[in-house]
């Protein structure tokens, strides 16, 4: 301990005597360690976090999937759910249902539109969630005619109810019915969706509708379950597959799509699955940044050892053994790395919040990320490991030389320099290769972002405002009253100054959330073994297409006469035409959706829209007329001559004049919607570009230092060359050539690594291959250009050496 104290004190003295070296090393290490700490905080929270559900590894999502159409999460009908509940052996009564809807909740100030999770009474028992206050649902809450009850999520209780514990037992109003709050949930991830409150199935006006609940063609609920003790995932898959086959035989008319199969996936895997490729790329990026930092600091250490050569030889002559000297050098390296880790924690604290916010776009598990004990331990271990590496660099060089012989030879600067040139050359190779990989990754991400920005969403987003209206079903279930409200709403908003047109539809482009049932085409049978036709079902009024700028390609759109007394008509998208009527005119053709009793006549074709995101292919869709299909949950679109957000107060006044209790939600421009769709790719590209920029800067500095110090070491050699006849250009070319050979070799090595990592990168790219030649060539040329300049500066210094002064010294 006494010797350790001496080593620490001596190391601190050396650091204080060389503040420039100390500051440079600490800052570089802090960047590398800080980036790794911040990314590790996010990764450990997401990839290794335990869900707040009891024995969460046994929770499963049962869903439909069609590999031929690459569709997932098609929901079940209520009779199907009951069949699985009654027949499953692997889940033994531990199956629950879920779907979400928006309703207006009254009773606490302003009308509040809430997202409601409609669940079976056993839902929280299946999930293994105990209430924070009050209770959850009981079996009698689900009985027909039972008094409606409500369970609040923790976030909604804190934000809208001010965390009032007295809310338990209070009665509010939803769907013109009294509903009683019976419980508050603890903090839970927003899965399967972000939900404000929960109600049992009996309280939902749609789920409790006898006709809808009895139909096998109306798929409206998702199914989740907990494996019984002793049951494996393989047994559960076999069990569900057996029930599925039994139902297909028993009800063949309800399962026309023979390729639609039931699949099972662990909930935890679904929560992190989408973010895993991006997280893996980020972890690799920050690890490479740290490796690059290590290589650069290694060059600094190598150079510093050159200035301490005489000191080390003299200490050895005065009795310090080789082990003592190596331990001293290790102590200095570890102290510097610990200081770098301490500063890096500050950088990590600044970076965790934006990085966590970015991760929330992919998974709800990214909330509440902070620097905890696990992160501190990671930073400590990373700092110690890095310090050992730095300390071993000079220690390794010392261990390879006979210091006593060096002292006899005078302790010249060449004593410890044997092999140092090769060591610096290796570090330059590592720096160039790592920088190339990082820049390729960032370049591919940036090009992906640019290609995504060029994608046509199918609508004209400029000067269009969208807002959501969710009318109480019980008050507006009469078609006449519903139609009167919409007519008055459209006329009132249309009369506002600056409004060009007003339209309505059931969905907002680029936001997903589609209902995609199967349909049949009149006088056309689906070939055996082929999937039944399927399309998104949407609702729109006659001015919607004009308002959002969807062009009419053929036929017509809706008229005032297309009401609930007229035959059903529909407008379809071009992609649907290409799939099923590629060689014929679809106008006048008839289709029948599952659950419908009357055929619908196709009257027009409109251009495709990117409903599920800019990176998703246009989906086949069928638009029904609002006056025929109805709908209490609609999106209103307003095209204006100027900034549409300036009209929001006036629009609110129009709607409140029609219904004072009607809230207006999700107010946003279509430009905002498009920006949100682009945000994940843009932020990913920005993060990768940030890491690559740091790496590129470190590489340039490292190459300059390495070549410059190499010139310093070779001053006598270069002076002798000049005396023997070498011209200034010869010396310049010699140094420049040696540097560029190392750079080119590093580029070849980096290209090989980047090509091998293509599979990892493919998970985050859009519209571009991970082996894109243009990106590889541009990045290679950029590195050659900048590295060439970095080599040129010390090369010019070498060419300007005055031989007489050097040889005289």
DSSP assignment of 59-79 equals EEEEEEEETTTTEEEE-EEHH
Give the confidence band of 504 by pLDDT, cuts at 50, 70, 90. Answer: very high
The mean pLDDT of 785-792, rounded to a whole number, is 82
Residue 460: cis peptide before it, omega within 30 degrees of 0: no
pLDDT of residue 485: 92
**Residues written for the chain:** 809
Alpha-carbon distance of 342 to 348, in angstroms, equals 10
Alpha-carbon distance of 378 to 35, in angstroms, equals 12
Closest CA to 97 of 123, 127, 72: 123
Give the confidence band of 67 by pLDDT, cuts at 50, 70, 90. Answer: very low
Four-point Cα dihedral 694, 696, 697, 702, nearest 10: 120
The model's pLDDT over 594-623, given as tens digits with 9 standing for 90+, comes to 778 889 999 999 999 998 888 888 889 999
Alpha-carbon distance of 19 to 690, in angstroms, equals 28
Strand pairing partners for 120? none
Give the confidence band of 265 by pLDDT, cuts at 50, 70, 90. Answer: confident
In this structure, how many other beta carbons lie within 10 angstroms of the beta carbon of residue 419?
A: 12
Query: DSSP secondary structure string, 576-642?
Result: HHHHH-TTS--TT-EEEETT-SS-EEEEEEE----TT-TTSPPPPEEEEEHHHH--SEEEEEEEESS
* Residues 41 and 184: beta-carbon distance below 8 Å: no
Alpha-carbon distance of 785 to 430, in angstroms, equals 18
pLDDT of residue 760: 76
Q: Write the Ramachandran bin of 793: left for phi over 0, alpha for psi from -120 to 50, otherwise beta.
A: alpha
Give the confidence band of 488 by pLDDT, cuts at 50, 70, 90. Answer: very high
Give the confidence band of 303 by pLDDT, cuts at 50, 70, 90. Answer: low
Q: Measuring CA to CA, how many Å separate 347 from each of 31, 499, 714?
A: 7, 48, 39
Residue 412 has pLDDT above 50, yes or no: no
Q: Tokens in use for 352?
A: 């965790």
Closest CA to 280 of 38, 43, 34: 43
The model's pLDDT over 334-376, given as tens digits with 9 standing for 90+, comes to 888 889 889 988 888 887 877 777 777 777 777 767 777 888 8
Could you tell me what percent of the chain has a pLDDT over 90? 27
**Cα radius of gyration rounded to whole Å, the chain:** 34
* Residues 348 and 37: beta-carbon distance below 8 Å: yes
Task: Please state the pTM of the whole predicted model.
Answer: 0.73
Residue 409 has pLDDT above 60, yes or no: no
């Amino acid at each position: 301990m006494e010797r350790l104290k001496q080593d620490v004190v001596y190391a601190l003295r050396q650091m204080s005597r060389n503040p420039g070296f100390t500051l440079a090393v600490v800052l570089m290490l802090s960047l590398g360690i800080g980036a790794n700490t911040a990314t590790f905080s996010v990764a450990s929270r997401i990839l290794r976090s335990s869900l707040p559900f009891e024995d969460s590894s046994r929770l499963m999502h049962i869903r439909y999937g069609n590999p031929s159409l690459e569709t997932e999460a098609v929901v079940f009908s209520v009779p199907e759910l009951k069949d699985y509940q009654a027949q499953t052996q692997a889940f033994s009564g531990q199956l629950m249902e879920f779907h979400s809807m928006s309703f207006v909740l009254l009773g606490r100030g302003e009308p509040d539109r809430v997202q409601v999770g409609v669940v079976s009474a056993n839902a929280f028992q299946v999930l293994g969630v105990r209430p924070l206050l009050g209770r959850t649902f009981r079996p009698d809450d689900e009985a027909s005619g039972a008094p409606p009850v409500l369970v609040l999520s923790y976030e909604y209780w804190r934000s809208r109810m001010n965390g009032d514990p007295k809310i338990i037992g209070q009665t509010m109003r939803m769907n013109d019915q009294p509903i009683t709050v019976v419980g508050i949930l603890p903090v839970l991830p927003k899965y399967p969706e972000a939900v404000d409150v929960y109600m049992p199935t009996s309280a939902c006006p749609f789920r409790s509708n006898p006709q809808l609940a009895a139909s096998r063609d109306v798929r409206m609920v998702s199914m989740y379950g907990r494996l019984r003790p002793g049951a494996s995932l393989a047994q559960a898959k076999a069990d569900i597959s057996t029930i599925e086959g039994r139902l297909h035989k028993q009800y063949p008319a309800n399962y026309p799509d023979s390729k639609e199969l039931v699949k099972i996936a662990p909930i935890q895997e679904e929560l992190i699955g989408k973010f895993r490729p991006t997280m893996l790329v980020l972890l690799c990026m920050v690890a490479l940044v740290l490796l690059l930092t290590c290589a650069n600091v290694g060059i600094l250490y190598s150079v510093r050892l050159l200035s301490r050569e005489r000191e080390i030889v003299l200490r050895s002559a005065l009795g310090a053994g080789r082990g003592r000297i190596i331990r001293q050098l290790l102590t200095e390296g570890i102290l510097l790395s610990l200081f770098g880790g301490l500063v890096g924690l500050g950088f990590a604290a600044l970076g965790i919040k934006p990085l966590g916010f970015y991760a929330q776009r992919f998974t709800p598990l990214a909330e509440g990320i902070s620097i905890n004990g696990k992160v501190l331990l990671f930073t400590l271990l990373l700092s110690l490991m890095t310090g050992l590496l730095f300390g071993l660099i000079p220690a390794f060089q010392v261990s390879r030389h006979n210091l006593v012989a060096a002292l006899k030879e005078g302790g010249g600067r060449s004593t410890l320099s044997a092999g140092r040139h090769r060591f610096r050359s290796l570090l330059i190779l590592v720096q160039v290769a790592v920088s190339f990989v990082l820049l390729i990754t960032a370049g591919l991400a940036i090009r992906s972002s640019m290609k995504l920005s060029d994608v046509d969403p199918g609508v004209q987003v400029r000067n269009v405002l969208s807002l959501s209206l969710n009318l109480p079903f019980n008050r507006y279930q009469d078609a006449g009253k519903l139609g009167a409200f919409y007519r008055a709403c459209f006329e009132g908003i249309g009369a506002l100054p600056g409004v060009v047109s007003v339209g309505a539809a059931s969905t907002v482009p680029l936001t997903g959330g589609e209902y995609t049932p199967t349909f049949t085409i009149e006088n056309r049978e689906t070939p055996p073994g082929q999937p039944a036709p399927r399309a998104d079902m949407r609702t729109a009024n006659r001015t919607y297409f004009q308002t959002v700028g969807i062009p009419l390609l053929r036929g017509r759109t809706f008229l005032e006469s297309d009401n609930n007394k007229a035959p059903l008509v529909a407008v379809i998208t071009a992609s649907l035409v290409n799939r099923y009527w590629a060689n014929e005119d679809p106008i006048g053709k008839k289709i029948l959706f599952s659950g419908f009793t009357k055929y619908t006549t196709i009257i027009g074709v409109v251009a495709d829209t990117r409903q599920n995101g800019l990176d998703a292919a246009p989906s086949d869709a069928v638009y029904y007329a609002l006056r025929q299909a109805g709908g209490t949950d609609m999106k209103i679109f307003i095209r204006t001559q100027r900034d549409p957000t300036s009209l929001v107060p006036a629009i609110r006044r129009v709607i409140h004049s029609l219904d004072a209790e009607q809230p207006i939600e999700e107010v946003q421009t279509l430009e905002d919607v498009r920006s949100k769709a682009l945000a994940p790719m843009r932020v990913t590209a920005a993060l990768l570009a940030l890491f690559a920029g740091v790496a590129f800067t470190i590489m340039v500095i490292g190459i300059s230092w390495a070549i410059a110090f190499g010139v310093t070491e070779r001053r006598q050699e270069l002076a002798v060359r000049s005396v023997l006849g070498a011209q200034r250009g010869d010396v310049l070319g010699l140094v420049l050539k040696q540097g560029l050979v190392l750079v080119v070799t590093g580029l070849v090595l980096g290209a090989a690594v980047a090509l091998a990592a293509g599979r990892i990168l493919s998970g985050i790219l859009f519209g571009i291959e991970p082996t894109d030649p243009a990106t590889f060539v541009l990045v290679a040329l950029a590195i050659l250009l900048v590295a060439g300049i970095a080599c040129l500066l010390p090369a010019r210094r070498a060419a300007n050496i005055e031989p007489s002064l050097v040889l005289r010294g």
